[in-house]
Amino acid sequence: MRCLRSIFLLTLLALFPLCAQNRSDDLSKLIGEIWSGGQHASYLQKLSDEIGHRLTGSPGGERSEQAVLQWMKELKLENVHLEPFRMPARWERGTASAVVVKPYARKLTVASYTWTPGTRSGGVMGPVVDAGTGKPEEIEAIKSKLKGAIALVAPAGVTLDEVIGNFYRTPEFVKECAAAGAVAVMIASDKEKTLLYTSPVSFNGEVSPMPAVSIAREDVEFLRRLISARTPVEVKVDLTNKLGPAFMANNVVGEIRGTENPEEEIMLGAHLDSNDLGPGALDNAAGCAALLETARAIKQLGLKPKRTIRFVFFMGEEEGMIGSTEYVKAHLQEMANIVAVLIMDIGAGKPLGWFSMGRTDLDGEIQSLMAPLAHMGVSLIVHDTFAATDNAAFMAAGVPNLVMLQDDAPYFPVHHTAADTPDKAEIRDFTSCVVALAATTHQLADQPKRFGKRLNAMEIGKMMKDSNIEYQWRVAKIWPLK
């Protein structure tokens, strides 16, 4: 018996390096398949060029749901289905114009923000009041001048932190201006060369309390020159947007079932919807294409992950992470089964590492995941905690959630603009992103030890106390989860 036990132990010890070698071989094959036969550029082009913009509730948005559903079926993924959720209102872009009527006529370059109402027939007209960067104290200082006026706001900054800050501040200053009696608000685009930025100005699919337009930064400077010279300025804004009733949008779900621990899930997420000025190539057709290519490559090679890999394409992200929040709420009892959530939502720029959302306890494990990708420059862990993409509700549920850290230089200049087109995706960097996503997924699905842990209520509370995340969760109506 002792001899048999010794033989058994020796056999196990011999198998351990063999299993490790097999995992390494599978990883190499997966990386090679993506570099040599990847279809991510094709998926990107189909989503961007053939379908076009994918605003939630638009014909393009609905076509994209069906297209991704069909593609996952063709890849022979399992449990492919739609998961509906409610959007409070449908929105359709109309025409938008803004003209200076005093001191002299001049056409301004503007586009409506999404989920903002049209003006009354013939438009609205009023004096322009400079509201600075839209900080609370700036709005308070000019509040008495806003009745019947058009507020001009130029939020400051272009870094990720500043963009997220503006994301959460914009709905507040729009409400403050509306409450003070303003008839419209013009918000400076943060882009160069008259390129216009747009997004919703309210969260959760709610309609803006008043008309809001993006205005070219060059026109903002023109108006401010007039105002600084104490020249009274009047502008007329005319919008013909259409609003519709509540409707159901869909998250699109598919999976590769695990062979040994199928109840444990590695979740890959990317938002399928986009804003509507452009086709949303970097934001976020690229992320969706990366998920589809990861699924294709795994199936093509016949790999059999030990844990289940679930692919979720979220709608309603641009309106405040609605699809992902509703997904978490609908599956709240299953959150303990999710090992990790990986999100792609910063375009197709070179992969650099991962945002860990303040989870310093995961550093060692993340470093191990990145080790096979070190030669590609994937080596950074950033501990910033933010709720600006579809990881947010999973974070609130305590699930380990990683957002791919990428070179954002190609992304922010065209983010939410008409220039967000497929040509902005440099194919080598884009392929590197897909490789980083697929390699990380493969390791999480196959490594012997489960990754990380789910935070308990006390630990989530500490994270809320140590960061600004509770404010973001509450504004976006993510918190409390129920």
Give the per-residue pLDDT at 158.
67
How far apart, in whole angstroms, are the C-alpha atoms of residue 415 and residue 106? 28
pLDDT in tens, 351-389: 999 999 999 999 999 999 999 999 999 999 999 999 999
Query: What pLDDT score was predicted for residue 21?
Result: 60
- Spatial distance between the Cα atoms of 327 and 340, rounded to a whole number of angstroms: 15
Local structure of 87: helix, strand or coil: strand
Residue 164: the pLDDT is 85
Q: What is the CATH number of domain 30-88+246-475?
A: 3.40.630.10
Predicted pLDDT of residue 160:
73
Rounded-to-integer distance, Cα 118 and Cα 200, Å: 14
Query: According to the model, what pLDDT value does residue 11 have?
Result: 41
Q: Residue ranges per domain, the chain? A: 30-88+246-475, 95-243
CA angle 420, 94, 101 (to 5 degrees): 100
Q: Which of 247, 240, 259 is nearest to 96 (CA)?
A: 240
Contact 156, 220 (CB under 8 A): no
| Predicted local distance difference test score (pLDDT) of residue 22 | 63
Q: What is the mean pLDDT of each run of 10 residues along the chain (482 residues)?
A: 41 43 85 98 99 99 99 99 98 98 98 98 98 97 98 86 86 97 98 96 94 98 97 98 98 99 99 99 99 99 99 98 98 98 98 98 99 98 96 98 98 97 98 99 98 97 92 93 88
With beta carbons less than 8 A apart as the criterion, state whether 401 and 453 touch: no
CATH topology assigned to domain 95-243: Glucose Oxidase; domain 1 (3.50.30)
- SS3 call for 220: helix
What is the pLDDT at residue 20?
A: 52
